[in-house]
Amino acid sequence: MIQIRQASLEDLHQLVPLFDLYRIFYKQSSDLVKAERFLKDRFINKDSTIFLAFANGSQKAQKAVGFTQLFNTFSSVSMEPFYILNDLYVLEEFRGQGIAEQLIDAAKKLANKNHQKGIALETDWNNPAQKLYERLSFEKDIDHYHYFWSTKPSSFLQNN
């Protein structure tokens, strides 16, 4: 059985390795120290909301097997807040068990509870998770282009 709950600073030791693997999936170098600092800052500054998925086990022996991270933002056009689902990751050996869907459901419940306009996400053009997003009622935006300006020339293209 999988348990989903909102993460806290006390979960950092279980979250950091997952976050590092997530970054590696997106062709970044492993950096556990920087990952811990980044996530710790998110908790301390209350910049994001993170949900963790835990596999079977006693309360003390549960293993974190996936996570999602949401950032708050606003739409000037609609004048409403919404979340950006920036990160979603499940350990490879736990994929195909509905864990990503449970994490997204937790994000949706939070969006409803906090009266958000919705949840936006971005993914690689070839990420198979697109099927999951579409099945969960995320609509692909085919009307808009997304642009990115970087302080480090070409870094966006090199890292994506």
CB 73 within 8 A of CB 81: yes
Complete domains list, the chain, with CATH: 3-141 (3.40.630.30)
Task: Please name which of 43, 36, 50 lies closest in space to residue 103, comparing C-alpha atoms.
Answer: 50
| Collapsed DSSP state (helix, strand, coil) of residue 68 | strand
pLDDT at 134: 86
pLDDT at 131: 84
pLDDT at 113: 97
| Collapsed DSSP state (helix, strand, coil) of residue 64 | strand
pLDDT, averaged per 10 consecutive residues of the chain (160 residues), comes to 94 97 95 98 97 77 92 95 96 95 97 96 84 86 81 62
CA-to-CA distance for 79 and 58, rounded, in angstroms?
A: 44
CA-to-CA distance for 156 and 160, rounded, in angstroms?
A: 6
pLDDT at 124: 83
pLDDT at 126: 83
pLDDT at 129: 84
